[in-house]
């Protein structure tokens, strides 16, 4: 009866367990559906976006590569794991008596086998899925491996073309690490699986292995050792990027100690793998254990002990002699990797024979000396031209334009919309439908100042008003450096164009930017993508509406070409037809260039190979190749045909505004400060290391490169130049200056002008020290500070003119209560002459007319010598009171004049005190 009762209960029990299983399957399916939807909806929106910008082939290439990698590598992983588990399952049953000796107390094999199968299958699937997801991120190395471009340069140690290290070696390393991970996991999973199958048992005599299990695990160990041999072989190539020696790259110790050890380990690992496999037929375990011990011993001695002893007792006492070939390699490859090999060095005499006639001859250079620094100018633009709280100036960029028949350097800043500063923050319609774009820009010359000390604005206000032939015809900025996640245009809601007095002017977007909303299905997908169901239920969003996303210039370019690195600061250009465009510099980089000294967060190879142009209204992107000789950009051109265009295809009005990027130039200058030394002995002893001068102030920071318009020594016409000076390490005198040319046909040419070593040439820090020590200048700055004003020091600019150096530093004054910096003084230093005046012209006239600093500007009559000391004292007291009255009124110009008169009176008093009654 009990058996019948059990049989009667089984169907119900089966039904309940089946329901439970169905419930769990349903839950898992729902979770999988949510995960897939969470990934597929953004992917579909991205596909629509790529189609809208015309680069769907780029996304398709990446997705196909990722999909094939996931399937291929996930399949390989699943096959390897499944094959090993299948072999476990096929293992013959062990003796029952041995099962009784199992100290773990597990049930019999046939009882556990059913549950083991259920457990191992999902584990295998999960591990394969993780492997597939890991492989997805390797689409870049895989594509570069498939489309390599030769560098036509071989490394001096292994004589491989450098493309092997840039394109092939990263893929091989990925393959090796992935296979090693899969084999290790297979070994662990196989060993665990053999325990319930009784292939491995824990008995009173220790671990017991069945013959099948032993042979299987030995095969896995052999495969691991064969793979490790390949790993040792790959490690030999890593010596070319070794940081261990006196310079980066393979050193004497690497070549004559580590390299032979790695080659020996490669052979030993193969032999050990063979011994592990032959152990299947050969019962003796001793040869394999001896081989394994030898492998470990050679690894420890050959990779740690012997290299350390060789370095200490052979290399260190003779380091320069032994390391000279490797120092030469490091110098050569570092200069090549950073584009320093083509730099032309020219001696610059740094004479002090500059005259007013020379200044007139270089009038275009002098008239373009930058008096406005971007930081205080940005604050001034914000006070004068933001107009509404939701408009912001993010950055000020330096560029040049052809105005009225001459090249003029200008400061340009776009007026962008900041949704974070909307007065009605949090209202969805305002943030995503009404306030959609910035408006216009402000343009000012670099050296013109109003009587109030403010910049003269060539283009200003809303709508843009221009006092020069350059006009802005399409002032709307939908794509810029600011921008929220998305906006909808062409909606039923009014879109603010610009404020006009007490009323606002509204507009409808007429461009091609954004993704069409189209159907209700797409509208629902956009709502899911942005996790905002107001999109779905909004009556303002109609099928003709367009959604703009990825609106920031850097983010937009990075979305299309994520394999490039980008300049952090794009700059705005006004085209001839008045449209606004952004230009963004992009770089190809690598950290696998042999012997090249690396730069933090960059790698050890860099080229400015691409110029990206983004239309501020339509959002269209164009990628122009600026360095077609770069093998990396040639490879990317093969991978993504149609993505890049030659620089010659760029419109001429935009091409006239390309400039040498500051970040790239700063990296090159940093490297050249050391790698201008070509002699291995000088390099080893660091005899002639340069450094970038540091600015004095609250933050002792290096000088930044700066743009200027000047005529290079020996040049015929003025050019747009990026410039930075050098000083000797731990010294302040000038040693050289580097210039990068930006104008065609010399774009990208670097020239270094070196100072005579036997001559003292003042550096920027020494000039700043002289300015701080000047009694009159220090007095003026102290008085301004006492009146509750903040003195802002502009950058000290080194301006080469003819064969001389001119130093110019602007000074700004800002009230502490409000930030409206005004240009108050310009300091000019040349040779031993220093002048501080209200304008650059007056300061230059003071310096080059040899007028003493404290003399009153302009002609003045010979002062009459008073008849008594009392008369002089009364006159001095009167001048002092006048000066204090001017100071109370805030009339600094009048105060300065009276201070000069007071100084003259006191000078007369000192010179004639003995002769007067």
Instruction: State pLDDT tens for residues 303-347.
Output: 999 999 999 999 999 999 999 999 999 999 999 999 999 999 999
Average pLDDT over residues 100-116: 57
Structure confidence at residue 701 as a pLDDT band (50, 70, 90): confident
pLDDT at 916: 53
Is the pLDDT assigned to residue 843 strictly greater than 80?
yes
At residue 917, the pLDDT reads 59
CA 353 to CA 803: how far, in whole Å? 9
Rounded mean pLDDT, 4-33: 58
**Which of 1-10, 819-828, 887-896 has the highest average model confidence (pLDDT)?**
819-828
Paired with 660 in beta bridges are none
Instruction: Give Cα 359 distance to the centre of its chain.
Output: 39
Q: Residue 912 is inside which H or E element, if any?
A: helix 892-912
pTM of the model: 0.86
Q: Under a CB-based contact definition with an 8 Å cutoff, are residues 564 and 587 in contact?
A: yes
Question: 53 or 854, which is more confident?
Answer: 53
Averaged pLDDT, 419-438: 89
pLDDT at 306: 94
Specify whether the CB–CB gap between 375 and 635 falls below 8 A.
no
Q: What rounded mean pLDDT belongs to the chain?
A: 87
In this prediction, residue 727 carries a pLDDT of 95
In the predicted structure, residue 890 carries a pLDDT above the cut 60: no
* 448-490: pLDDT as tens digits: 998 888 999 999 999 999 999 999 999 999 999 998 889 999 9
- In which band, very low, low, confident or very high, does the pLDDT at 9 lie, cut at 50, 70 and 90? very low
Tokens of 495: 């879109």
Give the pairing of strands 565-566 and 391-393: unpaired
Name the least confident of 473-477, 623-627, 682-686, 868-872: 868-872
Chain segment 366-376, per-residue pLDDT in tens: 999 999 999 99
pLDDT confidence tier of residue 8, bands split at 50, 70 and 90: very low
User: Would you say residue 196 has pLDDT above 90?
Assistant: no
pLDDT of 14 above 80: no
Taking residues 587-600, report their average pLDDT. 96
Cis peptide before 118 (omega within 30 of 0): no
Segment 563-575 shows an average pLDDT of 96
**Where is pLDDT greater, at 354 or 818?**
354
Query: Do residues 168 and 95 touch, judged by C-beta distance below 8 A?
Result: no
Q: Is 388 helix (H, G, I), strand (E, B) or coil?
A: coil
pLDDT at 858 over 60: no
φ/ψ (deg, to 5) at 200: -125, 130
pLDDT at 667 over 60: yes
Asked if residue 705 lies in contact with residue 693, where contact means CB atoms within 8 angstroms, the answer is: no
Can you tell me the distance from the alpha carbon of 162 to that of 592, in angstroms, rounded to the nearest whole number?
Answer: 9
Q: Is 707 exposed, middle or buried (CB count within 10 Å of its CB: 0-12, 13-18, 19+)?
A: buried
**Of all helices (H) and strands (E), which one includes residue 465?**
strand 465-466
Peptide bond into 439 cis (omega under 30): no
Averaged pLDDT for residues 114-139: 82
Which of 109-113, 446-450, 626-630 bottoms out in mean pLDDT, i.e. has the lowest?
109-113
pLDDT for residue 852 is more than 60: no
* Coil/strand/helix, residue 486: strand
pLDDT over 70, % of the chain = 87
Backbone φ and ψ of 551, nearest 5°: -90, -15
DSSP assignment of 138-154: THHHHHHHHS----S-B
> Is the pLDDT reported for residue 6 higher than 50?
no
d(CA 519, CA 521): 5
Whether the CB-CB separation of 142 and 69 falls below 8 Å is answered with: yes
Confidence of residue 539 (pLDDT cuts 50, 70, 90): very high
pLDDT at 265 > cutoff 70: yes
For the chain, helix, strand, coil in percent to 5 are 45, 20, 35
Q: CB 718: neighbour CB atoms within 10 A?
A: 22
Q: How confident is the model at residue 914 (pLDDT cuts 50, 70, 90)?
A: low
Q: What is the mean pLDDT of residues 738-749?
A: 94
Element (H, E) at 725: strand 719-728
Peptide bond into 745 cis (omega under 30): yes
């Amino acid at each position: 009866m009990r058996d019948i009762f059990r049989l009667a209960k089984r169907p119900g029990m089966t039904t309940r367990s089946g329901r439970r299983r169905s419930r769990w399957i349903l839950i898992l399916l729902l979770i999988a559906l949510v995960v897939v939807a969470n990934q597929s909806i953004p992917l579909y929106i991205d596909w629509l976006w790529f189609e809208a910008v015309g680069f769907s082939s780029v996304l398709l290439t990446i997705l196909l590569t990722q999909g094939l990698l996931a399937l291929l590598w996930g399949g390989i992983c699943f096959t390897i794991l499944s094959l090993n588990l299948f072999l476990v399952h096929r293992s013959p049953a062990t003796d029952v008596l041995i099962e009784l000796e199992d100290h773990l107390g597990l049930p019999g094999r046939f009882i556990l086998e059913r549950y083991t199968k259920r457990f191992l299958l999902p584990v295998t699937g999960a591990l394969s899925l993780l492997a597939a997801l890991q492989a997805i991120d390797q689409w870049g190395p895989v594509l570069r491996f498939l489309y390599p471009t030769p560098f036509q340069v071989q490394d001096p140690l292994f004589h491989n073309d450098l493309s092997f290290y840039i394109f092939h070696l990263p893929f091989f390393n990925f393959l090796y690490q992935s296979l090693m991970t899969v084999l290790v996991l297979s070994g662990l999973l196989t060993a665990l699986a053999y325990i319930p199958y009784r292939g491995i048992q824990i008995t009173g005599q220790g671990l017991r292995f069945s013959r099948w299990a032993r042979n299987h695990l030995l095969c896995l160990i052999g495969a691991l050792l064969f793979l490790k041999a390949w790993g040792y072989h790959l490690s030999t190539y890593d010596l070319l990027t070794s940081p261990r020696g006196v310079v980066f790259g393979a050193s004497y110790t690497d070549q004559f100690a580590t390299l032979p050890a790695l080659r020996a380990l490669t052979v030993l690992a193969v032999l050990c793998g063979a011994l592990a496999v032959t152990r299947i037929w050969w019962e003796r375990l001793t040869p394999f254990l001896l081989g394994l011990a030898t492998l470990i011993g050679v690894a420890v001695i050959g990779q740690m002990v012997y290299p350390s002893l060789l370095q200490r007792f052979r290399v260190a006492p003779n380091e320069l002699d032994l390391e000279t070939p490797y120092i030469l390699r490091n110098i050569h490859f570092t200069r090549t990797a950073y584009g320093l090999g083509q730099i032309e060095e020219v001696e610059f005499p740094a004479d002090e024979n500059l005259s007013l006639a020379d200044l007139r001859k270089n009038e275009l250079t002098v008239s373009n000396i930058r008096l406005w620094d971007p930081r205080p100018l940005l604050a001034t633009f914000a006070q004068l031209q933001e107009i509404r709280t939701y408009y912001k100036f993010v950055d000020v960029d330096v560029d040049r334009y052809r105005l009225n028949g001459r090249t003029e350097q200008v400061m340009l800043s776009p007026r962008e919309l900041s949704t974070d500063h909307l007065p009605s923050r949090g209202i969805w319609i305002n943030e995503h439908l009404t306030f959609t774009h910035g408006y216009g820009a402000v343009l000012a010359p670099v050296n013109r100042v109003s009587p109030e000390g403010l910049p003269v604005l060539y283009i200003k206000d809303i709508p843009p008003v221009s006092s020069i032939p350059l006009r802005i015809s399409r002032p709307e900025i939908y794509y810029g450096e600011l921008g929220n996640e998305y906006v909808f245009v062409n909606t039923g809601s009014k879109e603010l164009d610009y404020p006009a007095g007490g009323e606002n002017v509204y507009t409808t977007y007429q461009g091609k930017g954004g993704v069409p909303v189209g159907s209700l299905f797409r509208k629902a997908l956009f709502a899911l993508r942005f996790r905002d169901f107001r999109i779905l239920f909004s009556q303002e969003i109609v099928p003709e509406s367009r959604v703009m996303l990825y609106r920031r210039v850097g983010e937009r370019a990075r979305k299309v070409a994520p394999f490039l690195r980008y300049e952090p600061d794009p700059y705005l250009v006004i085209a001839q037809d008045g449209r606004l465009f952004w230009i963004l510099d992009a770089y190809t980089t690598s950290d696998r260039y042999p012997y090249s000294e690396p730069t933090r967060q960059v790698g050890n190879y860099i080229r400015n190979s691409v110029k990206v142009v983004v239309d501020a209204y339509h959002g269209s992107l164009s990628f122009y190749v600026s360095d077609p000789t770069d093998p990396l950009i040639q490879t990317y051109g093969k991978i993504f045909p149609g993505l890049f265009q030659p620089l010659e295809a760029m419109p001429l009005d935009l091409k006239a505004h390309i400039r040498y990027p500051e970040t790239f130039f700063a990296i090159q200058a940093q490297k050249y400060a050391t790698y201008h030394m070509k002699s291995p002995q000088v390099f080893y002893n660091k005899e002639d290391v340069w450094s970038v001068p540091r600015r004095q102030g609250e933050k002792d920071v290096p000088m930044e490169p700066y743009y200027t318009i000047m005529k290079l020594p020996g040049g015929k016409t003025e050019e747009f130049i990026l410039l930075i000076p050098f000083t000797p390490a731990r010294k302040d005198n000038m040693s050289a200056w580097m210039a990068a040319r930006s104008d065609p046909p010399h774009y990208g040419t670097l020239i270094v002008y070196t100072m005579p070593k036997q001559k003292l040439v003042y550096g920027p820090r020494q000039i700043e020290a002289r300015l701080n020590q000047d009694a009159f200048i220090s007095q003026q700055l102290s008085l301004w500070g006492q009146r509750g004003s903040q003195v802002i020091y502009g950058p000290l600019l080194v301006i080469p003119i003819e064969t001389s150096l001119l130093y110019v530093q602007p000074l700004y004054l800002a009230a502490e209560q409000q930030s409206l910096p005004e240009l108050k003084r310009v300091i000019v230093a040349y040779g031993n002459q220093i002048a501080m005046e209200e304008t650059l012209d007056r300061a230059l006239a003071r310096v080059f007319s040899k007028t003493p600093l404290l003399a009153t500007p302009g002609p003045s009559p010979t002062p009459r010598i008073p008849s008594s000391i009392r008369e002089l004292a009364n006159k001095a007291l009167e001048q002092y009171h006048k000066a204090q009255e001017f100071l109370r009124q805030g009339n600094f110009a009048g105060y300065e004049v009276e201070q000069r008169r007071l100084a003259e009176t006191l000078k007369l008093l000192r010179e004639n005190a003995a002769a007067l009654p």
